[in-house]
């Protein structure tokens, strides 16, 4: 496990983007990818989408772990988003760049021309990236409303939104947050509670000048300033229940022109709280154990293991796709589990002595103690059981998901961030109990667990992609949505010619976010929280 030196936050802006929309300007979003080896790129983060804008300044920062000892190749891609799908393949590409994180962090401001492909410029488009180390894990939570804002629209009231800026060392203003929700036709808006990392908001300096700008949103991107406020976090912190802090919203030009001008409305800070936000490493270093379970598909659709065409056939050099998946994912996860004992199960086969079909049999044939010593133990158990069972069917995922969920539910009752469960299912993809599996995943989404599905062979994996939930929240048959996204699906065929570590980097990329999101949702700190050093 490489020691993460620090986390850095990347601010991104672009100028002169290509115009891909016929009747309006592009709606850009920037995605950050990291090289996962073998020509594969894994998404790390993405900004918000800004409508009708060729010179976007993105308010959402891209966060990346910085490893001094690794050459971290990054790719920034800018897309014109015209639909609601998460997948970017159906959006227009406005250009991108490849660089290393070292190049970005060693430049105070890193600007490069955007390219559609190597050597082909994306018009006059440029991208500018600046990096800042995150030294503080505290987060500012704000609730803000306004009263009596100026009317800006001819036919209706204003559609107000907020932007927060911090003052840099050179006196320049840097955007740190833009409110997501544009409240339509409302001169007395109340915005949703929002949060910004303290480091982003004011660099940890409670007296650093903060400018709050309130503007009227126009769909063509030509937003009109209603007014602005200058304050500090220290002043905003004086807000308490029933006693908001009020600021006059001033439009500088109106103030100069009219002697009778009072203000363009009142901005009220209803609540300003600072809380600590913990990272994956905070939980792991604080004592959270990651418990790894393997589930292997032994259904007949894999083919007879004696046949070279079978997905379970072990080649002369002693491997197959099932074994490679177990090794590559398990070798990373085992570093986070102190006892190095991993339960391993099979499903969809007839097992001796009575040859009944089982959907959760221990690979070591010991149901009371299905634990294998280390990943090598899982591999050995798999090799030994293969000639002793008959591949059969159907392909039911829900029993093994529910099996691990029972352990996760027991751990959850302790009310601490002590154990997190990862289930790796390796399958040829032809699932039979899709409805029951959907329900099992929705139930598991409320528990401290994540599910990784690796699809082997050449099957159509549409059902697996559906379970992944990247194109929308997964729902049970009754319509109950998953509490959070816990499934990551990857087809093995994309990694056949890639280095071994590429598969694990992609399939495990989501786990840290999933673990942190679960404990944040529960409000559970690490078992041993890190000390916050004074700034």
Q: What is the pLDDT of residues 91-145, one digit of tens each?
A: 999 999 999 988 888 776 899 999 999 999 999 999 999 988 777 778 999 999 9
Task: Looking at the structure, tell me whether residues 193 and 102 fall in a common domain.
Answer: no
Q: What is the pLDDT of residue 278?
A: 86
CA distance 389 to 41: 38
Q: Is residue 532 part of a domain?
A: no
Element (H, E) at 10: strand 6-15
> Which pLDDT value is given to residue 504?
82
pLDDT tens-digit series, residues 449-481 = 999 999 999 888 888 888 887 667 899 999 999
What's the mean pLDDT in 305-332?
A: 92
Do residues 308 and 390 both lie within one domain? yes
Q: Are residues 67 and 211 in the same domain?
A: no
The CATH number covering residue 67 comes to: 2.60.40.150
Same domain, residue pair 261 and 286: no
List pLDDT tens digits, range 56-75.
999 999 999 887 656 789 99
Alpha-helical segments (H) within 88-132: 101-105
Q: Give domain status of residue 527, yes or no.
A: no
Same domain, residue pair 297 and 356: yes
Claim to verify: residue 509 and residue 372 sit in the same structural domain: yes
Residues 6 or more apart from 515 whose CB is under 8 A from it?
A: 280, 283, 288, 290, 420, 448, 450
Within a domain: residue 222? yes
Q: Residue 285: inside a domain, yes or no?
A: yes
Which of 252, 276, 300 delimits the end of a domain? Answer: 276
Compute the average pLDDT of residues 162-178.
Answer: 91
- Final residue in a domain of this structure, among 107, 134, 161: 134
Query: What's 431's domain CATH number?
Result: 3.40.50.410
**pLDDT at residue 86 is higher than 70:** yes
> Domain tally for the chain?
3
Strand ranges (E), 148-193: 160-167, 173-178
Residue 218, in any domain of the structure = yes
Pairwise CA distance, residues 485 & 451, whole Å: 10
Whether residue 216 lies inside any domain: the answer is: yes
Alpha-carbon span 150 to 148, nearest angstrom: 6
Q: Answer yes or no: do 361 and 381 share one domain.
A: yes
The pairs formed by 234-240 with CB atoms below 8 angstroms and a separation of 24 or more are 234/206, 234/207, 236/142, 236/210, 236/269, 236/272, 237/206, 237/272, 237/274, 238/272, 239/269, 239/270, 239/271, 239/272, 240/271
Q: Are 175 and 257 contained in the same domain?
A: yes
Give the tens place of pLDDT for each residue, 388-425.
999 999 999 999 999 999 999 999 999 999 999 999 99
Q: Which domain holds residue 31?
A: 6-134
528 located within any domain: no
Tens digits of per-residue pLDDT, 339-353? 889 999 999 999 999
Please give the pLDDT value at position 510: 83
Residue 387 belongs to a domain: yes
Please tell me the predicted confidence (pLDDT) of residue 277.
83
pTM beyond 0.85: the answer is: no
In percent, the amount of the chain with pLDDT more than 90 equals: 65
Can you tell me the mean pLDDT for 503-519?
86
For a pLDDT cut of 70, what percent of the chain falls above it?
95
- Co-location of 103 and 86 in the same domain: yes
Q: Is the pLDDT of residue 533 over 80?
A: no
In a shared domain, residues 19 and 147: no
Task: Answer whether the bond into residue 166 is a cis peptide, omega within 30°.
Answer: no
Residue at which a domain ends, from 99, 118, 134: 134
Given a cut of 50, whether residue 535 has pLDDT beyond it is no
Question: Do residues 398 and 263 both lie within one domain?
Answer: no
Looking at the fold, whether 385 and 434 belong to one and the same domain comes out as yes
């Amino acid at each position: 496990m490489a020691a993460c030196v620090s986390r850095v936050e990347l601010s991104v802006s672009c100028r002169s983007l290509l115009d891909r929309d016929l009747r309006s300007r592009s709606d850009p979003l920037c995605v950050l990818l990291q090289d996962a080896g073998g020509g594969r790129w894994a998404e790390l983060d993405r900004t918000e989408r800004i409508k009708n804008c060729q010179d976007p300044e993105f308010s959402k920062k891209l966060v990346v772990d910085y490893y001094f000892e690794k050459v971290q190749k990054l790719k920034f891609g800018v897309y014109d988003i015209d639909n609601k799908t998460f997948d970017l393949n159906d959006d227009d590409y406005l250009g991108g760049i490849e660089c290393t994180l070292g190049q970005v962090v060693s430049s105070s401001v890193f600007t490069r021309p955007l390219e559609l492909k190597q050597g082909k410029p994306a018009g006059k488009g440029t991208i500018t990236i600046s990096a800042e180390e995150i030294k503080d894990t505290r987060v500012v939570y704000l609730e803000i409303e306004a009263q009596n804002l100026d009317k800006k629209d001819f036919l209706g009231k204003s559609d107000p939104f907020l932007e927060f800026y911090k003052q840099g060392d050179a006196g320049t203003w840097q955007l740190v947050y833009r409110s997501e929700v544009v409240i339509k036709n409302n001169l007395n808006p109340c915005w949703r509670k929002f949060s910004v990392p303290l480091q982003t908001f004011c660099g940890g300096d409670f007296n650093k000048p903060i400018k709050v700008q309130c503007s009227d949103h126009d769909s063509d991107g030509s937003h009109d300033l209603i007014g602005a406020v200058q304050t500090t976090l220290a002043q905003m912190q004086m807000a308490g229940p029933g006693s908001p802090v009020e600021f006059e919203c001033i439009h500088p030009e109106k103030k100069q022109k009219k002697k009778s001008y009072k203000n363009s409305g009142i901005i009220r800070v209803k609540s300003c709280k600072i809380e600590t936000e913990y990272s994956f490493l905070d939980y792991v270093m604080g004592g959270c154990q990651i418990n790894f379970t393997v589930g292997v598909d032994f259904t007949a659709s894999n083919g007879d293991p004696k046949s070279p065409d079978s997905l379970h056939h072990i080649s002369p050099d002693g491997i197959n796709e099932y074994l490679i998946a177990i090794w590559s994912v398990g070798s990373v996860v085992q570093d986070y589990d102190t006892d190095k004992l991993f339960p391993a199960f099979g499903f969809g086969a007839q097992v001796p002595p009575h040859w009944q079909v089982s959907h959760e049999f221990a690979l070591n044939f010991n149901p009371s103690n299905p634990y294998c010593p280390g990943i090598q133990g899982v591999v050995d158990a798999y090799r030994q059981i293969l000639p002793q069972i008959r591949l059969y069917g159907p392909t039911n995922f829900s029993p093994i998901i529910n099996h691990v969920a029972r352990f996760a539910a027991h751990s959850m009752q302790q009310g601490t961030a002590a154990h997190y469960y990862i289930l790796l299912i390796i399958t040829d993809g032809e699932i039979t109990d899709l409805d029951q599996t959907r329900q099992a995943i929705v139930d598991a989404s409320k528990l401290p667990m994540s599910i990784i599905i690796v699809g082997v062979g050449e099957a159509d994996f549409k059902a697996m992609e559906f379970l992944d939930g990247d194109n929308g929240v997964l729902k049970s048959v009754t319509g109950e949505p998953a509490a959070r996204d816990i499934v990551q699906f990857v087809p093995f065929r994309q990694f056949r010619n890639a280095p071994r570590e590429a598969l694990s980097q992609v399939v495990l990329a989501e786990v840290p976010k999933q673990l942190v999101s679960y404990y944040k949702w529960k409000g559970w700190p690490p078992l041993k929280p890190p000390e916050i050093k004074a700034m």
